[in-house]
């Protein structure tokens, strides 16, 4: 389906017929052709409102390279304080790469290079004197696949506070663990088995454990890279509720493939296409009245 | 026909059977409309025919070779009227007959012997003919039978796979039976040893000097078979080796897996693995000629007494030998830890070393423990280095600068040279072997247990 819709702009009816000889009639063929969007539009700049007044994170003219290949082209974006910003776009458009450059997780990838101005509360993220360890404590991350450590549930959550020396006494640590698990909505499910391995939980519970682990070090920003892609709808709904609650205290950037999810949890939405930031706006505007042709094509499901 | 010629002919027949089975299946397929009309691919029909042609014949040939001599001997000896009573006498007589039959006359030829020799020769000659005829008839006959059965309906693949499964099973059994056989032989010889020397003396005796007197009035006529000094020696050398190998091996694995760039890794990993390819004899003389004198001089320069063959020298070199085991296995295990765990730790603001110490190593621990225990078995069983560098004197000592001896060294010295196989001195080697076997078995058992326990915790 994907290849077909992407090619449909150029492909003649005869070729369509050979590509799908068995199932579709000529009528359906032409309908598909009419719906298919032309994705070869040159993106010249970002439309909408990429900047905001009270920016927690601010990025200007960011370029990211993997070796010779450029993954992100000249992206500028602000992420406001206590705001949830959703990043959407088709696979391989650079959303995750962009997200990972916000807490320098890209440093772990060999050959990856980030250019541009990225600041957290006005301090340069890629400055020569910046220590990535405290930076990553301030900008936490939740990954696509739940990745609890092979330790007990308690030790998973206590890991961050321990390495950063946040809690000096056992009672303090207990309190942090309980608080984090409560805020992640997991406390009632696991309070009787804190010493059991975190890997024994269900997928949704594991992801909430990872969120609890991230908030246990009291970060200021939480980056979420498709946190629900491996979860069922019920677990997804719980995580989405959680994101909404977390917004009171944290700034959140979330990459998602689900447009419904972006619409439900975020205040602002950024649409990426082939490494470029096409459009940023209030979530409502993006989904009801998109300015850019590509954004409209994507959110109405005509490609991606 | 001589057996090798027959064997070669049989192989040729098998090839021919494969070819004809294959082409016959193709022919049958052509008249039915292509290969898809066959129940199996043509090559399976070929293999099926070849198996019928070759397998029974090969089995019979094998059985023949095993039982040939015994049957002929029974027949020949049955024809002799006044055989000697004892088994050795009979052996002697049969050897004489064999010599005479092959033309090497030893001693005087009695009519009875000559007749027996002729009998033997005729039996051998007839046997050869019978063998050739039987094998060829079996092979060609069964091959032809299988060829006749080739038809599109026959499910050749299923039959071939059944035979293959049986062959695989037999290969698996071969390893098991070998182990059981070794264990049994060691066990029986040990039982004989323990009839001469009490088990308690062997296990708890503190003195080892396995000399047996040839005459009753000889000095030191009673040997002492207390194995404790040997086991403490083994333990000490292995412990020193592990003290070297585990930290160095593990840390080099961590460096290679977590810190080294691709280029360094591609260069350093094979280089470390070369260590594993050095023959232990080379390590042995390196230990004896370079390390041991060095250790002694070093000890003397700080005012310690050291013998020229020391547990320390042997242990150090053995440790170096084991490094690649630990490092290579640990490296693989550490690399198998998913990147997502590292990302998770780094994303929480861990430093590189915190990530390694608190997340990666705990996750890799079962595999690392397994690798280390494998290395321990290797250290306990190692012989050449300790023979050359640790000495032969069975000292019961905790001083690594003194010379000690190990279980393996003593087994070697007990069995080298001409030995009578019923003296406790020789049998002691089997008892030591049994103890060694049991201790490595226990070690492996513990290793499996540890690995399982951690696996339950971490998966």
Higher pLDDT, A92 or B212: A92
B298/B287 Cα distance (integer angstroms):
15
Whether B210 shows a pLDDT value over 50: the answer reads yes
By CA distance, what is A197's nearest residue in B?
A: B457
- The answer to whether B145 faces chain A, any CB pair under 8 Å, is no
Q: Please check whether residues B237 and B112 belong to one and the same domain.
A: no
pLDDT at position B180: 92
* CB contacts, 8 Å: A133 with chain B: 349-351
Mean pLDDT rounded to a whole number for chain A = 84
Contact predicate A61/A126, CB 8 Å = no
pLDDT of residue A21: 44
Same domain? For B145 and B275 the reply is no
Average pLDDT (B184-191) is: 91
User: Measured between CB atoms, which of A150, A151, A159 is closest to B348?
Assistant: A159
Amino acid B140: pLDDT: 92
Chain-chain contact of A143 with B344 (C-beta, under 8 angstroms): yes
- Domain assignment present for residue B81? The answer is yes
Domain boundary among B139, B154, B169: B154
DSSP state of A87: E
Structural domain including B432 reads 224-458
B148 and B266, same structural domain?
A: no
Q: Does residue B301 share a domain with residue B427?
A: yes
In a domain, B159, yes or no: no
Of all helices (H) and strands (E), which one includes residue A271? Answer: strand A268-273
The distance of Cα B43 from the centroid of its chain, to the nearest Å, equals 36
> Mutating which of A150, A155, A157, A213 best tests the B interface, going by the most B Cβ atoms within 10 A?
A150
User: Which of A163, A198, A214 best tests the B interface by mutation, with the highest count of B CBs <10 A?
Assistant: A163
How far is A14 from chain B, CA to nearest CA, in Å?
Answer: 34
Specify the pLDDT at position A9. Answer: 39
Residue ranges and CATH numbers for the domains of chain A are: 2-35 (no CATH), 47-299 (3.40.50.300)
DSSP secondary structure string, A115-135? EEEEEETTEESS-TT--HHHH
- The shortest CB-CB distance from B459 to any of A110, A199, A217 is to A199
Evaluate whether residue B187 is within a structural domain: no
Give the model's pLDDT for residue A253.
94
How high is the pLDDT of residue B167? Answer: 92
Say which CATH number the domain at B267 has.
1.10.3720.10
Regarding whether B233 and B126 lie in a shared domain, the answer is no
**What's the structural domain count of chain B?**
2
Residue B244 lies in a domain: yes
Q: Is A197 in Cβ contact with B457 (below 8 Å)?
A: yes
Query: Is 60 exceeded by the pLDDT of residue A32?
Result: no
- How far apart are the C-alpha atoms of B404 and B450, rounded to whole Å? 31
Determine the average pLDDT of the residues in B312-339.
Answer: 90
* Residue at B217 is within a domain: no
Please indicate whether, in this complex, the C-beta atoms of A197 and B458 are within 8 angstroms of each other: yes
Helices A170-183, A203-215: axis angle to 10 degrees equals 130
- Provide the token pair at A239: 């995580």
Q: Which of B104, B125, B154 is the last residue of a domain?
A: B154
| Residues B267, B142 share a domain | no
Say yes or no to pLDDT of B212 above 70. no
pLDDT at A16: 41
* B130 plus B267 within the same structural domain: no
With cut-offs at 50, 70 and 90, classify the pLDDT of residue A7: very low
B145 & B242 share domain = no
Chain B residue closest in CA terms to A161: B348
Q: Are residues B144 and B232 in the same domain?
A: no
Q: Considering only CB atoms, which chain B residues are within 8 Å of A197? A: 457-458
Task: Please report whether residue B441 resides in a domain.
Answer: yes
* Chain B residues near residue A140 by CB distance under 8 angstroms: 347-348
Residue-level length of chain B: 459
Inter-chain residue contact A149 with B359, CB threshold 8 Å? yes
Q: Is residue B200 part of a domain?
A: no
Closest residue in B to A219 (Cα) is B348
Distance from CA of B267 to the nearest CA of A (A): 18
Q: Which pLDDT score, from 0 to 100, does residue B152 have?
A: 83
Q: Give, as one character, the DSSP assignment of residue B344.
A: H
B430 lies in the same domain as B316: yes
Chain B hits for A151, Cβ within 8 Å = 362
Containing H/E element for B32? helix B3-32
Query: What gap in Å lies between CA B23 and CA B37, rounded to an integer?
Result: 15
Per-position DSSP letters for B118-180, written without gaps between them: HHHHHHHHHHHHHHHHHHHHHHHHHHHHHHHT--TTS-HHHHHHHHHHHHHHHHHHHHHHHHH
- pLDDT at residue A14 is higher than 70: no
The reported pLDDT for the residue numbered A8 is 40
Q: What is the pLDDT of residues B249-302, one digit of tens each?
A: 999 999 999 998 888 988 988 888 888 889 989 999 899 899 999 998 998 898
Beta bridge partners of A79: A57
Is position B163 within any domain?
no
User: In whole angstroms, what is the distance from residue B389 CA to residue B285 CA?
Assistant: 8
| A299, pLDDT greater than 80 | yes
Nearest CA in chain B to A200: B459
- Section B383-401 average pLDDT: 84
Distance from CA of B355 to the nearest CA of A (A): 10
Minimum CA–CA partner of A137 in chain B: B349
Q: Which residue has the tokens 């049989």?
A: B10
Contact A150 B458 (CB under 8 A): yes
Please write the tens of the pLDDT for every residue from A203-230: 889 999 999 999 999 899 999 999 988 7
Name the band, by pLDDT with cuts 50, 70 and 90, for residue A266. Answer: very high
B137, B154, B171 - which closes a domain: B154
């Amino acid at each position: 389906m994907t290849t077909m819709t992407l090619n449909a702009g150029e492909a003649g009816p005869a070729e369509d017929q050979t590509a799908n000889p068995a199932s579709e009639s000529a009528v359906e063929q032409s309908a598909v052709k009419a719906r298919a969007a032309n994705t070869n539009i040159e993106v010249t700049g970002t439309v909408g409102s990429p900047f905001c007044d009270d920016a927690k994170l601010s990025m200007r003219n960011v370029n990211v390279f993997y070796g010779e290949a450029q993954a992100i082209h000249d992206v500028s974006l602000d992420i406001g304080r206590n705001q949830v910003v959703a990043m959407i776009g088709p696979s391989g458009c650079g959303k995750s790469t962009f997200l990972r450059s916000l807490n320098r997780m890209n440093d772990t990838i060999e050959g990856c290079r980030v250019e541009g101005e990225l600041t957290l509360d006005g301090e340069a993220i890629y400055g020569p004197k910046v220590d990535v360890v405290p930076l990553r404590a301030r900008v936490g991350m939740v990954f696509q696949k739940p990745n609890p450590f092979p330790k007990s549930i308690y030790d998973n959550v206590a890991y961050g506070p321990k390495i950063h020396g946040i809690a000096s006494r056992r009672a303090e640590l207990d309190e942090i663990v309980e608080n984090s698990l409560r805020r992640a909505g997991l406390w009632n499910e696991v309070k009787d088995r804190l010493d059991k391995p975190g890997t024994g939980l269900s997928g949704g519970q594991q992801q909430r454990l990872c969120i609890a682990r991230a908030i246990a070090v009291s970060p200021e920003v939480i980056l979420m890279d498709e946190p629900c892609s491996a979860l069922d709808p019920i677990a997804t709904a719980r995580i989405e509720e959680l994101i909404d609650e977390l917004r009171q205290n944290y700034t959140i950037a979330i990459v998602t493939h689900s447009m419904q999810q972006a619409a439900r949890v975020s205040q602002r939405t950024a649409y990426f296409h082939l490494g470029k930031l096409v459009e940023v706006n209030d979530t409502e505007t993006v989904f009801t009245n998109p300015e850019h042709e590509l954004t409209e094509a994507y959110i109405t499901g005509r490609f991606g | 026909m001589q057996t090798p010629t027959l064997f070669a002919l049989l192989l040729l027949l098998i090839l021919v059977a494969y070819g004809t089975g294959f082409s016959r299946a193709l022919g049958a397929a052509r008249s039915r409309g292509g290969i898809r009309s066959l129940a199996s691919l043509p090559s399976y029909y070929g293999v099926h025919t070849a198996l019928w042609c070759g397998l029974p014949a090969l089995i019979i040939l094998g059985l023949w070779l095993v039982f040939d001599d015994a049957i002929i001997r029974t027949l020949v000896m049955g024809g002799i009227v006044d055989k000697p009573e004892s088994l050795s006498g009979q052996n002697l007589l049969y050897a004489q007959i064999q010599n005479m039959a092959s033309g090497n006359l030893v001693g005087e030829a009695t009519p009875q012997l000559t007749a027996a020799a002729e009998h033997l020769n005729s039996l051998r000659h007839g046997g050869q003919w019978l063998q050739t005829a039987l094998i060829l008839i079996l092979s060609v006959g069964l091959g032809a039978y299988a060829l006749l059965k080739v038809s599109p309906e026959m499910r050749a693949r299923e039959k071939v796979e059944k035979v293959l499964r049986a062959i695989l099973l037999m290969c698996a059994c071969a390893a098991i039976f070998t182990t059981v056989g070794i264990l049994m032989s060691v066990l029986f010889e040990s039982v004989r040893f323990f009839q001469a020397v009490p088990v308690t003396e062997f296990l708890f005796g503190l003195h080892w000097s396995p000399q047996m007197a040839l005459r009753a009035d000889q000095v030191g006529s009673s040997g002492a078979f207390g194995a404790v000094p040997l086991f403490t020696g083994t333990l000490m050398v292995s412990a020193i080796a592990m003290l070297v190998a585990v930290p160095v091996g593990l840390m080099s694995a961590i460096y290679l897996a977590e810190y080294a760039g691709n280029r360094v890794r591609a260069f350093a990993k094979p280089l470390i693995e070369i260590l594993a390819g050095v023959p232990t004899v080379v390590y042995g003389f390196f230990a004896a000629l370079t390390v041991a004198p060095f250790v002694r001089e070093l000890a003397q320069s700080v005012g310690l007494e050291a013998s020229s063959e020391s547990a320390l020298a042997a242990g150090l070199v053995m440790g170096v030998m084991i490094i690649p085991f630990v490092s290579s296995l640990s490296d693989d295990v550490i690399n198998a830890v998913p990147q997502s765990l590292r990302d998770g730790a780094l994303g929480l603001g861990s430093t590189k070393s915190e990530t390694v110490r608190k997340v990666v190593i705990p996750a890799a621990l079962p595999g690392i423990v397994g690798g280390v225990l494998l290395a321990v078995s290797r250290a306990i069983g190692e012989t050449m280095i300790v023979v050359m560098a640790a000495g032969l004197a069975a000292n019961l000592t905790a001083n690594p600068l003194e010379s000690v001896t190990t279980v393996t060294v003593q087994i070697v010295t007990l069995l080298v040279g001409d030995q009578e196989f019923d003296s406790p001195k020789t049998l002691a080697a089997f008892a030591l072997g049994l103890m060694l076997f049991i201790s490595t078995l226990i070690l492996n058992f513990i290793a499996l247990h540890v690995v399982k326990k951690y696996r339950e915790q971490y998966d």
